[in-house]
Amino acid sequence: MEEKSIVNDVLSSTKSSLKDYEGAIIETANMELRQTLQNLRNSSESFQYELFKLAEAKGYYTPAQNATSEEISKVKSELSNS
Predicted confidence (pLDDT) per residue in 34-66, tens digit = 999 999 999 999 999 999 999 999 999 888 899
Backbone conformation region of residue 65, classed left if phi is above 0, alpha if psi is from -120 to 50, else beta? beta
pLDDT higher than 80, residue 82: no
- The pLDDT tens digits of the residues spanning 14-38 come to 999 999 999 999 999 999 999 999 9
Domain layout of the chain by residue ranges: 3-80
Identify the burial level of 37 via C-beta atoms within 10 angstroms of its C-beta, where 0-12 means exposed, 13-18 middle and 19 or more buried.
buried
DSSP state for residue 46 in the 8-state scheme: H
pLDDT band for position 1 (cuts 50, 70, 90): confident
